[in-house]
Amino acid sequence: MMSIIRTIVSPAEEPTNRKLVFHEIPGPLPRQFFLYRPANARAGAPLVMSVHGIARNAATHAYRLMEEAERFGLTIVAPYFNKAHYGQYQQLQDPKTGARSDLALLEIAVAAARLSGASAEKLLLFGFSGGAQFAQRFVMAHPQRVASAVLVSAGWYTFPDATQPYPYGVDLSASELNIEFDLRAMLETPQHIMVGEQDLERDSSLRSSKRLDQMQGLTRVDRARRWVAAMSEFYKQKNASGAPTFALLPGVGHSFAEAVDRGRLSTLIFEKFADDADIEPLGAN
């Protein structure tokens, strides 16, 4: 068996009778994740990979997506990147430990597919806040492994600018990250950007500096708009179609729970996944 399995009890704030199981892949670095397999899971369907923000509330992500997962018969995987090893998981590699969060996610996907009967070949990737930052950079690094990506409320972005050093742009010459970005293949990967229309606060969780503010804007809404505009221009330069989409979530600030409850985020995520991966709800004619 590839993983050590531990069953957890649903937290009081997420009441449900559905069972969420915690897994850990043995090895020198922790690769931990929560797995939810719906009652009518489709064998061979793509995994839904939900990446937490700096709150590291991986289990909550899985609970909040369960209803839609049941509707489509899709298995949910919620990786847990612990702070000790993956402090800067958003940038794909932690500068202190050297732990590669992108490689950990790929290994987690393979393990989850073996456990669930789903497919790890092409992922349905969702990230919120810091998880959206990770997901955006993961798509640049591994576009061939992503069927659809929904990025919600990222604090800031890596622009497709070869004159800017990573993680501001895609110049990796001075970076310790041993990876290559495949921007041409990225053009084929559908990406959908969402942010709460009230996500305007410059709190401690929002990275800020004179350079970053001038380049990307002062709020998450500003930064999302500028990145989508830059990506649209990049697609035009490459004569490619399918540039990232952009949507505001009405009445929503920087809160995953609020985005789900008030902004219908879980439904919106799965609608994007269904369109991009050509998956219909169970029972649909």
CA gap 3, 54 in Å, rounded: 25
SS (H, E, C) 147-195: EEEEEECCCCCCCCCCCCECCCCCECCCCCCCCCCCHHHHCCCCEEEEE
Pair of tokens at residue 204? 């401690």
* Structure letter (DSSP) for residue 222: H
Spatial contact of 277 and 122, defined as CB atoms under 8 Å apart: yes
Q: What is the percent of the chain with per-residue pLDDT over 90, rounded to a whole number?
A: 89
DSSP state letters, 47-113: EEEEE--TT--HHHHHHHHHHHHHHHT--EEEEE--TTT-TTGGGSB-TTT--BHHHHHHHHHHHHH
Q: What is the pLDDT of residue 176?
A: 87
Reported as a pLDDT band with limits 50, 70 and 90, residue 33 is very high
Q: What is the pLDDT of residue 270?
A: 98
* Structure letter (DSSP) for residue 9: P
CA gap 244, 190 in Å, rounded: 7
Spatial contact of 69 and 75, defined as CB atoms under 8 Å apart: yes
Spatial contact of 179 and 172, defined as CB atoms under 8 Å apart: yes
pLDDT of residue 274 exceeding 70 = yes
What integer is the mean pLDDT of 8-14? 47
What integer is the mean pLDDT of 211-216? 94
Q: What is the pLDDT of residue 3?
A: 45
Q: What is the pLDDT of residue 159?
A: 98
CA gap 47, 56 in Å, rounded: 20
The tens digit of pLDDT for each residue in 139-179 reads: 999 999 999 999 999 999 999 999 999 999 999 999 988 88
User: What's the Cα-to-Cα distance from 108 to each of 36, 76, 80, 118, rounded to whole Å?
Assistant: 13, 12, 10, 13
Q: What is the pLDDT of residue 203?
A: 86
* Structure letter (DSSP) for residue 123: E
The tens digit of pLDDT for each residue in 68-116 reads: 999 999 999 999 999 999 999 999 999 999 999 999 999 999 999 999 9
